[in-house]
Amino acid sequence: MSKELENKVALITGGTTGIGRDTAVLFAKAGAKVIFSGRREVEGNETLSLVRAEGGDGYFIKSDASKSADVESLVQKTIDKYGRLDVAFNNAGIEGVWAPLIEHTEENWDQVQNINLKGVWLSLKYEILQMLKQGGGGAIVNMSSVAGLIGAAGAGVYVASKHGVLGLTKSAAIEYAAHGIRVNAVCPGVIETPMAERAFAEPALSKRMLSLHPLGRFGKPLEVAEAVLWLCSDKSSFTTGQYLGIDGGLLIGPNPNA
């Protein structure tokens, strides 16, 4: 494959499983030196083994994206290890508890917003500070969701967090465009990840969700990773402040044949 990220240093949050894991491996294949983080050490080391099996240069750091000290340290350790930061994928996220809004607890609200939204803000803050210190230039991709573009009954707290990610993405893109720092987002539909397996474990709900994807299937983590790679590469050099739906057609309407 072509080496779109040859000699680039990449940082990925939430790289222990699912989309983050596949992106870490794909970035390594594309020539990047990859630092990735997560809260689960066993899964993180599994991802690291996959990265190295591809001949990639990678490093796992246990870190919580919702904690300022952790994120600042994560970026600093990236610099200590590789000397610079060129691209980042702010992927860490959770689904939280799904229920009608009036049944949510303040604890669930805080947990989801802290990881999904505050975590993206903290990541942007310290990544951009480092990119500016280097003289500017860089590409950042944030993980939103189709839930960042529509409402969803029972998932209001999660939906709010993902709408917020798009607001941060657009604002950061405007603020740092003059410094050559591009900021975009991806908005996946249902992807075959451990998170989706938890959220849509009930057969009837899984069937319902499948019917919302006109392509007639759920997505693969690698399909999202490929989009992230494009947005982080020079092939998307005139793209910033945008969101890319990787959703099997969900946003255009339900599958009429379901």
pLDDT tens-digit readout, 53-95: 988 899 999 999 999 999 999 999 999 999 999 999 999 999 8
* C-beta separation of 108 from 152 below 8 A: no
Give the residue extent of every domain in the chain: 9-244
pTM of the complete model beyond 0.85? yes
pLDDT of residue 2: 65
Q: Taking 90 as the threshold, does the pLDDT of residue 128 lie above it?
A: yes
Active site residue 243: no
Mean pLDDT rounded to a whole number for the chain: 93
Residue 64 has φ and ψ, to the nearest 5°, of: -110, 115
pLDDT of residue 199: 67
pLDDT of residue 98: 86
Q: Taking 60 as the threshold, does the pLDDT of residue 197 lie above it?
A: yes
pLDDT of residue 253: 81
* C-beta separation of 188 from 23 below 8 A: no
Kindly tell me the burial class for residue 107, based on how many C-beta atoms sit within 10 Å of its own C-beta (0-12, 13-18, 19 or more). exposed
The pLDDT-based confidence of 193 (bands split at 50, 70, 90) is confident
Distance CA 128, CA 135 (A): 11
Which of the two residues, 130 and 199, has the higher pLDDT score?
130
pLDDT of residue 255: 67
Interval 2-56: pLDDT, tens: 699 999 999 999 999 999 999 999 999 999 999 999 989 899 999 999 999 988 8
Q: Taking 70 as the threshold, does the pLDDT of residue 189 lie above it?
A: yes
Give me the CATH code for the 9-244 domain, please: 3.40.50.720
Average pLDDT over residues 131-144: 97
Average pLDDT over residues 232-238: 97
pLDDT of residue 172: 98
Q: Which of 59, 82, 126, 158 is catalytic?
A: 158
